[in-house]
Structure 1
Amino acid sequence: MSAAAEVWAGLNDRQRTYLRALYDVDQALEDEHRQRGARGTFDPAPARVWRRISFNGAYSPVVSRLRAAGVYDTGAGATLAALRERGLISSETTPGVLTDMVDVWMTRAGRAAVRAGTGVPAARTARPRWALSEWLWRQMAAVARAGEDGLLAEQLASTTHLYLDAGHGDRRGNRAYLRTEQRMVPVTYRHRMYGNDQTWTTSQPEYRYHLTDAGRAHYAEHLGAYRELYPDIDAPDLDVQAAGADLGPAR
């Protein structure tokens, strides 16, 4: 057994779940960095800058993975400390107004442990130039799974909108595969005042993501290839919703 495999074997299930979640995000960042370089927008910043993982920031992809696994709770700090003590990650904490913000970096030892323990290859299979990264394709598939209702904007991970939202189409490297629909939804408020319950209903905007015509065309044309490239992503067949349907005002 290799040293990296022994390290993995010495972790408990919770620690492995955290380390694998961090590894997946680390690899997505690496993939995006490589993709920008291929488009001629290479970032010369050191790896510590673009590999930084916001652990508990808004819409953190790590948090969403850990919540899905049922292990994001008050013991998160202790788990990170256990991984840090083993040299599998490094981290920094910045004091915040409501909570301290934690940034994490995978170490080489951490990546090696995940690869040895899970069999994930060190190098990803080369993908065609037309293909999205695994991270962006995962978001496209999530929108497709949402169907005609669309995916709530807050459920779209991290900075996906900068790369796929038609509203950012003038940004270099953006592919306008997603668009937002605004709906007004009713919201009921209840308040107790002077011993009486008061209830009133108003409305507030809700934003949902849908595939654009270009997004649907790309999705349908390359779905089979994406399923081979990223087999762990649940990418359904598109429904019969007509391309170009009136889904409301885009932004």
Structure 2
Amino acid sequence: MASKAQQAWDALNERQRTYMTVLYDHDQAAETARAQDAAAGYYDDTPASVWRRIDVVTPGSKLTSVQRALARRDVRDDGAGSTLQALQRYGLIEVHDEVVETRRGASRTVQATLTRAGRAAVRAGTQEPGRRRPGELSEYAWERLVRLWRADPGTVRIWGYNTEAALVTRPKEPYAEGKLGDYRITEAGREHYRTRWARYAVLYPDVAAPDPDGGPEPWPADLQRTLDRMQGAIEIAHRVQWAAHRRMEEAHRDAGRRPSSQEGAADAEWHALLLEQAEARAALALAHREQATKDAVVAIRRYAHAVCAAYAASVTGSPASEDLTAAVVAAADAGRGRAKVKQPPLCGLHRVDTAVQEAYGTLAGTRTRKRPLPKQMQPGPRSVWRDFTDPPEHDLAVRRLLELARTVASYVDRGALRRELHPPAARVAAATAKP
């Protein structure tokens, strides 16, 4: 039988789920920011009932981050809207709607706060990892312990009062020992790592922690280096494109200068020679820019096909080995001459499937926006900085392909999606069971 949280999620329509997902992302971002501040020694005693409030509508014409996120998902709502009111009736959020006085007169402000039931419903519906239990390390503290494990018997820097307390002062037997910020792992730390590794693999899939029993890496380092190099090739091609475009505009500006009426024949001849050189420089820079643009398109295609192949392997759970790296490289080489990619498979995680399938639908033309983006989010004219403009944009298909590649890469990076979908099954059941 489905849990109460899962039933609450199943009762929502697609629009309401989108609202809940966006609000949940903002709620967790605020929670993470506070945790990072606390780890760095900056404390704030503001109650959760205040800092968990999320701005949905604010006075003036500026869109809130919630409205922008909804607009990108083709969801628009004026004011508080019936959707927020429905979610409040379900007990998933609390809506704070009031009219405030501004310089332009009365204006409406709407804030929303996720309830515990609301956060539980989103986690159940999107298969978000559960919350850590008392005695378990935070994600940052676990990442530090992973570094200590990797560096053993070397030392690692530990930053932040809370992190040092979690690893050194709070446990009965410290997980790390040292002084002046440099610490090495203790036997208690090794034992905690070995016994709780499977649990943390489920709780923090973004942290690449090696198997304490020496099992194969869930995401080959060589594969990640290969994907990073392909991404770097795009950045290098774009930098070359920008540099060539700037040289071309400089040459055009030099070629457009007019000689002074007081110049003599020799000066006029010298000026004509300079103009001829400027035109030649402009033509050469244009050729370089066009070649860099072609190189960027090829790099984008290779990268898109590579990350999509890595994504499919993460979903299916293909063995992480040199063969996987070779398969990803082969997919990149095969796709260098074509923009079409295979549709990424569904992974079962709502937040991932929504983003990836929307990006693919936009590329394939099967997903069209019902209404245009708000005018505040419409792309503006080409920027001008000190008389220099941006180089021409890629074709729409190439831009959409790059957006798909970036979306997919954000989930497969460092093997996070693979670890989340295929945790170490042999020990996860025992590690995740409540004591």
- TM normalised by structure 1 equals 0.51
Identical-residue share of aligned pairs (%)? 39
Alignment-mate amino acid for residue 40 of structure 2: R
The match for 1:85 is: 89
- Aligned residue number for residue 171 of structure 1: none
Correspondence for 1:71 among 70, 75, 81? 75
Q: Which structure has the highest strand share of the two?
A: 1
Could you say which residue in structure 1 is the equivalent of 2:40? Answer: 39
- Deviates most, 42-51 or 95-104: 95-104
Pick the aligned partner of 1:227 from 399, 408, 413. 413
Shift of 1:93: 1.4
Structure 1 residue 54 displacement after superposition:
0.6
The structural deviation recorded for 1:229 is 8.2
Describe the superposition over 1:139-162 as per-residue Cα deviations: whole angstroms up to 9, x where unpaired.
xxxxx9xx779xxxx88xxxxxxx
SS at match of 1:55: strand
Instruction: State yes or no: 1:51 paired with 2:55.
Output: no
- Alpha-carbon distance, 1:24 to partner: 0.6
Within 2, Cα distance between the matches of 1:229 and 1:17?
A: 26
AA matched with 1:122: G
Which residue, 108, 114, 121 being the options, matches 1:113? 121
Task: Go from structure 1 to structure 2 and tell me whether the alpha carbon gap of 1:19 and 1:83 turns closer, same or farther (over 3 Å shift).
Answer: same
Q: Distance in 1 between matches of 2:14 and 2:80?
A: 13
Inter-partner Cα distance in structure 2 for 1:66 and 1:14: 10
1:248 paired residue number: none
Q: Which amino acid aligns with 2:131?
A: A
CA separation in 2, counterparts of 1:59 and 1:32?
A: 22
Mapped pair 1:126 → 2:130: no
Task: Confirm or deny that 1:102 pairs with 2:110.
Answer: yes
- Structure 2 CA distance, aligned partners of 1:83 and 1:24? 16
Which has the higher Rg, Structure 1 or Structure 2?
Answer: 2
Q: Which amino acid aligns with 1:77?
A: G
Secondary structure at 1:95 match in 2: strand
When normalised by structure 2's length, the TM-score is 0.31
Give me the whole-angstrom Cα distance separating, in 2, the residues matched to 1:6 and 1:101.
31
Structure 2 counterparts to residues 202-221 of structure 1, below 5 A: none
Q: Residue 20 of structure 2 contacts residue 122 of structure 2 at CA under 8 Å; is this kept in 1?
A: yes
RMSD of aligned alpha carbons: 3.7
Aligned length: 152
Change (3 A) 1:99 1:230: farther
Q: State the AA in 2 paired with 1:126.
A: E
1:85–1:99 Cα change, 3 Å: same
CA distance in 2, matches of 1:53, 1:121: 22
Query: 1:126 Cα deviation (Å)?
Result: 1.2
Find the counterpart in structure 1 of residue 19 from structure 2. Answer: 18
Please tell me whether the aligned partners of residues 66 and 72 of structure 1 are also in contact (alpha carbons under 8 angstroms).
Answer: yes
Q: Mark the CA change 1:75 to 1:42 in structure 2 (over 3 Å): closer, same or farther.
A: closer
Deviation sequence 1:222-244 (CA, Å, 0-9, x none) = x999933876xxxxxxxxxxxxx
Structure-2 separation of matches of 1:224 and 1:83: 30
Whether contact under 8 Å (1:33, 1:50) holds in the other structure is no
Instruction: Return the alpha-carbon distance in structure 1 between the equivalents of residues 415 and 21 of structure 2.
Output: 19
Instruction: Give distance in 1, aligned partners of 2:5 and 2:131.
Output: 17
Q: Deviations over 1:46-89 (max 9, x none)?
A: 11121110112345221111000111133851000000000000
Give yes or no for the alignment of 1:28 onto 2:41: no
* Long gaps (5+) in structure 1: 131-143, 156-180, 186-222, 232-251
Structure 2 SS opposite 1:73:
coil
Distance 1:230 1:60 in 2: 30
